[in-house]
Amino acid sequence: MEIPTIDFSELNGDKRGDTMALLHKACEQGFFMVENHEIETRLMEKVKQLINRYYEENLKESFYQSETAKRLEKQENASDIDWESSFFIWHRPTSSINQIPNISQELCLAMDEYVEQLLRLGEKLSELMSENLGLEKDYMKKAFSGSDGPAVGTKVAKYPECPRPELVRGLREHTDAGGIILLLQDDQVPGLEFFKDGKWVKIPPSKNNAIFVNTGDQVEVLSNGSYKSVRHRVMPHKNGSRISIATFYNPIPEAIISPAPKLLYPSNFLYGDYLKLYSSTKFGEKGPRFESMKNMTNGHDNNNVLA
Site residues (vs Fe ion, CB under 5 A): 176
Task: Tell me the closest approach of the beta carbon of residue 174 to Fe ion, in angstroms.
Answer: 6
Q: Is the peptide bond before 253 cis (omega within 30 degrees of 0)?
A: no
Between 176 and 186, name the residue whose CB sits nearer to Fe ion.
Answer: 176
End-to-end Cα distance, the chain: 56
Q: How far apart are CA 231 and CA 26, in angstroms?
A: 15
Of 245, 249, 253, 237, nearest to 111 by C-alpha is 245
Q: How far apart are CA 129 and CA 23, in angstroms?
A: 8
Task: Tell me the closest approach of the beta carbon of residue 211 to Fe ion, in angstroms.
Answer: 15
Task: Tell me the closest approach of the beta carbon of residue 246 to Fe ion, in angstroms.
Answer: 7
Task: Tell me the closest approach of the beta carbon of residue 77 to Fe ion, in angstroms.
Answer: 23
Pair type for strands 192-196 and 31-35? unpaired
Residues contacting 118, CB < 8 A, separation 6+: 39, 182, 184, 211, 247
Between 143 and 171, name the residue whose CB sits nearer to Fe ion.
Answer: 171
Between 110 and 150, name the residue whose CB sits nearer to Fe ion.
Answer: 150
Between 155 and 294, name the residue whose CB sits nearer to Fe ion.
Answer: 155
Between 119 and 171, name the residue whose CB sits nearer to Fe ion.
Answer: 171
Task: Tell me the closest approach of the beta carbon of residue 216 to Fe ion, in angstroms.
Answer: 8
Q: How far apart are CA 69 and CA 45, in angstroms?
A: 29
Task: Tell me the closest approach of the beta carbon of residue 232 to Fe ion, in angstroms.
Answer: 6
Proportion of the chain in helix, strand, coil states, percent, rounded to 5: 40, 20, 35
Between 130 and 215, name the residue whose CB sits nearer to Fe ion.
Answer: 215
Task: Tell me the closest approach of the beta carbon of residue 207 to Fe ion, in angstroms.
Answer: 21
* DSSP element (H, E) containing 282: none
Spatial contact of 144 and 185, defined as CB atoms under 8 Å apart: no
- Find the residue with minimal CB distance to Fe ion: 176
Q: How far is CA 33 from CA 1, 120, 154, 241, in A?
A: 13, 16, 18, 22
> Looking at this protein, which amino acid is placed at residue 219?
V
CA gyration radius, the chain = 23
Spatial contact of 203 and 190, defined as CB atoms under 8 Å apart: yes
Q: How far apart are CA 186 and CA 188, in angstroms?
A: 6
Task: Tell me the closest approach of the beta carbon of residue 125 to Fe ion, in angstroms.
Answer: 17
Between 84 and 176, name the residue whose CB sits nearer to Fe ion.
Answer: 176
Between 216 and 269, name the residue whose CB sits nearer to Fe ion.
Answer: 216
Task: Tell me the closest approach of the beta carbon of residue 66 to Fe ion, in angstroms.
Answer: 21
Pair type for strands 199-202 and 5-7? unpaired
Between 103 and 168, name the residue whose CB sits nearer to Fe ion.
Answer: 168
